[in-house]
Amino acid sequence: MNLIQPILAVLREAADLTSRIQNDFITPATWEKKDKSPVTVGDLAVQALVAARLEETCPEIPLIAEESADLLLSEDGERFLAILLQYLEKYLPGITAEKIVGWISRGKNDDSLKGAPCFWTLDPIDGTKGFLRKEQYATALALVENGEVMYGFLGLPNLTWQKETHDFSMEKNEAGKPSGSLLYAKRGEGTWISTLDGSDFERLRVSDHADPKDASVLRSVESGHTNLSQMDILCQQIGVTGVVAMDSQAKYAVLAAGKSDLLFRLISSKMPDYKEKIWDQAAGSIIVEEAGGRITDLDGRNLDFSLGSMLLDNRGICASNGELHELALEAILDIHA
């Protein structure tokens, strides 16, 4: 089965959907989950849409996804379902509240699929706080086979690839919105990028910077996602002066395009036992690797996607252009043991 074209079509639909929701609301309808992180009507709408399309395209492949339909069964669920029905009717004519709950429930976010030989993993809106700020966010989808990511897709509605300059832009077009970017990677076949409006794809390569003085580091905007004090020390240790803060797996696109060189997810002192969720890393990891980069945990171990919804055998994230990876791991060992 040729998965690339059908999945690219789904990501374009998802980008249209999230852009509509983002533009219609000053603050999209939002809940706070048990872990205190936000979930919006956009997260739930995209998960329902993507799950529905995957059910049509490859119903035999299960899905591990971030969101739960439990939220829709709460006291506030009826209000949210009404909004979801309004937005999803354009893409899924004849939908019902029951179908929405069923599609969202198709994405398991527990360990019931641990050890599954093949599954999709989805983050419908990676970088929800960036989405709420109308800044960077991503729809991230990946196919995992026997613990290895084989396909990765990123839809980036607010980060536009400029073919003329081979760089990214956050400028809005004449219609008042960015045209966005679409990336995919297939194991052994490279990483490719286009604008969301359908221009030709071109291949991406990481930078060849081997001197840290020429390099920059990508980090999360949210302080809860990393250890900012150790990040500053780490950059000094490596000798990197440029630091770029950005939400979501959009950072992996920037790294894969050679526009930055290092990316870290250090362990926050507030959550010393935190384990990365697979939907936060799967798509981005293959996007970087197939562009010639390298990604490991903070101890230099390969990421293991075979253990359910979390990277249980890994600690944090270190991604690079490859040239600077060993230098980064040595510096991490010194300060983040």
Residues designated as active site:
43, 128
Name which of 142, 170, 139 is nearest 14 in CA terms.
139
Could you give the angle at the alpha carbon of 276 between the alpha carbons of 109 and 289, nearest 5°? Answer: 110
> What is the bridge-based pairing of β-strands 30-32 and 118-126?
unpaired
List the end-to-end C-alpha distance of the chain, in Å, as a whole number. 44
**Do the Cβ atoms of 48 and 103 come closer than 8 Å?**
yes
What Å distances lie between residue 50 and 120, 122, 132, 152, 250, CA to CA?
11, 8, 21, 14, 19
- Run of H or E including 329: helix 325-335
In angstroms, the CA 43 to CA 27 distance is 13
Could you give the angle at the alpha carbon of 181 between the alpha carbons of 64 and 145, nearest 5°? Answer: 30
Q: What is the DSSP letter of 28?
A: -
Cβ density class 179-207: b for 16+ within 10 Å, e for less: bbbbbbbbeeebbbbbbbeeeebeebebb
Q: Is 38 helix (H, G, I), strand (E, B) or coil?
A: strand
DSSP labels, 71-108: GGGSTTHHHHHHHHHHHHTTTSTT--HHHHHHHHHHEE
